[in-house]
Structure formats: C-alpha cells, structure tokens
Amino acid sequence: MTTKVFVDGQEGTTGLKIFEYLSQRRDIEVLRIEDAKRKDVEERRRLINASDVTFLCLPDVASRESVSLVDPGNTRTVMIDASTAFRTQDDWAYGLPELSRAQRERLRTSKRIAVPGCHASAFVLSVQPLVAGGLVPADFAAHAYSITGYSGGGKKMIAEYEAGGNDKLASPRPYALGLTHKHLPEMSVRTGLTRAPIFTPIVGAFLKGLAVTTYFSPDQLTRPAKPKDVRDMLAEYYTNEPFVRVLPFDAASNLDDGFFDVQACNDTNRVDIFVFGNDERFVTLARLDNLGKGASGAAIQCMNLAIGADEEAGLAR
C-alpha cells in the first residue's frame, strides 16, 4: 500500500529537495499539480484532501491558507509545514523527534507538524538538553551565531551566488542585524528559555552546510560543571538517537588542522554536536545540512513517523 503525498509549493528549494527524497521511495505516490494550476485554490484543495500527507513549502500566509483548505471532515491528511507559521503553537507538533522522550510519539500521532528552522534545529539540539537537565537556567542570556550556506536564502540567492562575477559574495556576510531573526521565537520556546537569544547568522560562499555556536561561562551554570561534563550530558541525552552524534570533547579529530568543517554533514540527515573550550569558557557547536536535517530531511523524517514507516527510510546518517 502506498502513501499519497502532495507538495504544496513544489518549486521552492525545500519543495524540490522533498521531491528528490520522494522520488527514491517505492512506498510513496506523489500527487502533482499542473504548473498552470499552482495558484488555483480549488485544485490545491482537491489535492490536499486527496493526500495522506501534504507538505507545505510556502510563505507563512500561504501556509495558513493551505491549512484552511483541509475539509472539516478530513481527519486523515497529515499537514507538514516548513514555514515559520506554526512552530510555536501548542496544537502543532514541533518536528524534532529528538527534542524529548515524548516528542517522537507525538509526531507519530499528530496530524499537524511544524518542521523546525535550520538555525533553530542546531541551536535547540545543542542547548535544550542542558536546560531540561537543569544545568542551564531558564533565564540564561544565550549568545549564538550561525554560519550557513547560501542555499538557505532560496532560489534567488542561489542564482546570485552561482552566476558569479560579484566580489562582494566571496566574503562571509552577516545579516538579520536588527536581532529579530524569524527563528528566535522557536529558539527560545523549544529550548525552555524565557528570553530569546542574541543571535546573528552569517551566509558564506558555499552551497549548503550550517553550524551554530553558543557561548557559555561556568558562572552562568546552576552547578559546577566542566566542558567535558557538558559534553557527557549531551551524549547521554542523545543515546541511541540515529541522527544525532555527540563527538568526544575537544578531540583533535574534530578539527581539520585546527579548523572546523561546516560542511561535513552535507547530504545526510545527521546532526553533529561538539563542546570546545576550557574550564574558564566553552562553546557548544551543532552542525547539519541546512537542506537536510535543517529542512527537507527533517520533513521526511517527520513523515516517516506519521505514516508508520521506518524513521530512517530514505535518509542518510
């Protein structure tokens, strides 16, 4: 028996990558919309309600419209949204199975799933266990930055970088310097922090790959702990998680001649988490593929849980 899947917003970066994943699956029947009808509300309504799973790869307003197209009596279709529209709403399951012991079961039973943002995924996975374990207080003033590939900016930014000829694009480019990045609400809500972090993202001259670094001082913790203790706490939290690796503390093998490889998780659905530093200061660092675990891969992982498939189906570690 196949699962019928519709992608609403199939031409965007996330939608195209989801199609790539789905094309490898024999247990999936993709419902396609004709190009001429992509904005036809009634055709979208028909396909959404004919599907077992609909992925929403749309801006927030359009995602909300698509959700409103689900027939009142339709209790079958699972809506998996990749926008920021529903990520902090309690009636939507947050699409991060590793978030807590109960989260995976919630994703198996939910009909409304909000896929996390790419920066938020890395931040939450590296900080939330420390808050949940009581080592980091809920009122912790987090400071973090992320470096990411240009594919996170969508088709227009990809085209700008790949056209070449613009020397400005050769340098890393910090952005969202008004400190109101759209991922901030979920970064605080889903970690259990009572305040949003101070967060600055940077786009680099490479296609994909992302790493979020968060800064800590021991005097900010609720009890004495060395960086290795923090690493061990993270490792215990993610024991047996197929897509999360916590690497040894400060090991030379974590670096390439002293430098960190932001792209080492590319083409996987894996998150690598590290702790670097010393007894006076340390950082957590989480790395992922912003098109994989940071977007489309996470969406497929959620779909697998929702339809009762192997969670790892079609996804690389």
Model confidence pLDDT, tens digit, residues 258-305:
999 999 999 999 999 999 999 999 999 999 999 999 999 999 999 999
> What is the average pLDDT value for the chain, to the nearest integer?
97
Q: Structure tokens of 174? A: 């910090």
Looking at the chain, the domain(s) classified CATH 3.40.50.720 span: 3-116+294-306
Express as a percent the part of the chain with pLDDT over 70: 100
Q: Which fold has domain 118-290?
A: Dihydrodipicolinate Reductase; domain 2 (3.30.360)
pLDDT tens per residue across span 229-256: 999 999 999 999 999 999 999 899 999 9
Residue 27, pLDDT score: 97
118: annotated active-site residue: yes
pLDDT tens per residue across span 207-234: 999 999 999 999 999 999 999 999 999 9
Residue 62, pLDDT score: 96
The pLDDT of 15-39, averaged and rounded, is: 95
Taking the model in full, what pTM does it have? 0.97
pLDDT tens per residue across span 47-93: 999 999 999 999 999 999 999 999 999 999 999 999 999 999 999 99
Give CA–CA dist 256/277, Å, rounded: 17
pLDDT at 10 over 90: no
The closest of 289, 293, 314 to 304, measured between CA atoms, is 314
DSSP state, 76?
S
The pLDDT of 162-181, averaged and rounded, is: 97
What are the contacts of 74-78 at 24+ separation with CB within 8 A? 74/49, 75/111, 76/52, 77/48, 77/49, 77/51, 77/52, 77/53, 77/111, 78/52, 78/53, 78/54, 78/110, 78/111, 78/112, 78/113, 78/303, 78/306, 78/307
The pLDDT of 28-44, averaged and rounded, is: 95
Looking at the chain, the domain(s) classified CATH 3.30.360.10 span: 118-290
Residue 73, pLDDT score: 97
pLDDT tens per residue across span 141-161: 999 999 999 999 999 999 999
Marked catalytic residue, from 57, 118, 265, 302: 118
Residue that is written with structure tokens 């094309």 in the block: 23
- Residues contacting 274, CB < 8 A, separation 6+: 231, 246, 247, 254, 284, 285, 286, 287
Give CA–CA dist 181/148, Å, rounded: 14
> Under a CB-based contact definition with an 8 Å cutoff, are residues 288 and 208 in contact?
no
Distance of CA 115 to the CA centre of its chain: 7
Architecture of domain 3-116+294-306: 3-Layer(aba) Sandwich (3.40)
The pLDDT of 113-133, averaged and rounded, is: 98
pLDDT at 33 over 90: yes
Residue 1, pLDDT score: 81
The closest of 98, 188, 199 to 147, measured between CA atoms, is 199
